[in-house]
Amino acid sequence: MEFKHISVLKQESINGLNIKPNGIYVDCTLGGGGHSLEIAKKIKNGKLICIDKDDDALNFAKEKLKDYYDKIIFVKDNFVNIDKILDELDIDKVDGILADLGVSSYQLDTASRGFSFKQDSRLDMRMDKNQSLDAEYVINNYSENELSRILYTYGEEKNARQIARKIVNIREKKPITTTFQLRDIIVSSYPPKFQNKASLCNKAFQAIRIEVNNELKDLELAIEKMLSRLKNCGRICIITFHPLEDRIVKSAFKLHSTDCICPPRIPKCVCNHKADIKLITKHPIVPSDSELANNSRSASAKLRIAEKL
Based on DSSP, count helices (H) and strands (E) in the chain, helices before strands.
Answer: 13, 7
Domain boundary among 165, 181, 213: 213
Clarify whether residues 193 and 171 are in a common domain. yes
Question: Is the predicted pLDDT of residue 4 greater than 70, yes or no?
Answer: no
By three-state DSSP, how is residue 277 classified? strand
Kindly report, residue by residue over 161-205, the tens digit of the pLDDT. 999 999 999 999 999 999 999 999 999 998 887 777 768 899 999
263 and 199 within one domain: no
154, 188, 213 — which closes off a domain?
213
Asked if 165 and 153 touch (Cβ cutoff 8 Å), the reply is no
> Which pairs with CB-CB distance under 8 Å and at least 24 residues apart come from 110-114?
110/1, 110/56, 114/179
Is 166:175 a contact under the CB 8 Å cutoff?
Answer: no
Verify that 183 and 226 share a domain, yes or no.
no
Both 304 and 257 in a single domain? yes
pLDDT, tens digit (0-9, with 9 covering 90-100), for 41-66: 999 999 999 999 999 889 989 999 99
The reply to whether 23 and 81 lie within a common domain is: yes
Higher pLDDT, residue 142 or 117: 142
Give me the chain's average pLDDT, please: 92
User: Do 281 and 260 belong together in one domain?
Assistant: yes
* Short-list 238, 256, 252, 233, CA closest to 93: 233
At residue 105, the pLDDT reads 74
- On whether both 123 and 257 belong to a single domain, the answer is no
The mean per-residue pLDDT over the stretch 221-230 comes to 97
Number of domains in the chain: 2
**Mean pLDDT throughout 151-164?**
95
Is the pLDDT confidence value at 147 over 80? yes
pLDDT of 144 over the 80 cut: yes
Q: Which strand ranges, in their side-by-side order, compose the sheet holding 72-76? A: 72-76, 47-52, 24-27, 94-100, 230-240, 302-308, 277-279
What is the structure's pLDDT at 194? 76
Q: Are 111 and 252 in contact (CB under 8 A)?
A: no
- Name the 3-class secondary structure at 199: coil
Q: How many CB atoms are closer than 10 A to CB 105?
A: 17
Q: Is the pLDDT of residue 139 over 90?
A: yes
Q: 174: domain CATH number?
A: 1.10.150.170
- d(CA 162, CA 158) in angstroms, rounded, equals 9
Indicate the residue among 178, 213, 248 that finishes a domain. Answer: 213
- Using the CB atoms, write b or e for 255-282: b if 16+ within 10 Å: bbbeeeeeeeeeeeeeeeeeeebebbee
CB 277 within 8 A of CB 256: yes
Residues 184 and 221 in one domain: no
94 and 219 share one domain: yes
CATH number of the domain that 39 lies in?
3.40.50.150
Residue 1 has pLDDT above 60, yes or no: no
Does pLDDT of 2 surpass 80?
no
What CA–CA distance (Å, rounded) separates 21 from 285? 25
Rounded average pLDDT over 93-111:
87
Whether pLDDT at 138 is above 60: yes
pLDDT digits (tens, 9 = 90+) for 230-286: 999 999 999 999 899 999 999 999 999 998 888 888 888 888 888 999 999 999 999
Whether 105 is in a domain gets the answer no
Verify that 76 and 147 share a domain, yes or no.
no
List the domain range (segments joined by +) for residue 271.
10-100+215-308
The DSSP H or E segment spanning 139 is helix 135-141
Given a cut of 60, is residue 13 above it in pLDDT? yes
The percent of residues in the chain predicted with pLDDT above 70, rounded, is: 98
The residue that leads in pLDDT, 221 or 116, is 221
Nearest to 77 by CA among 38, 115, 30, 109: 30
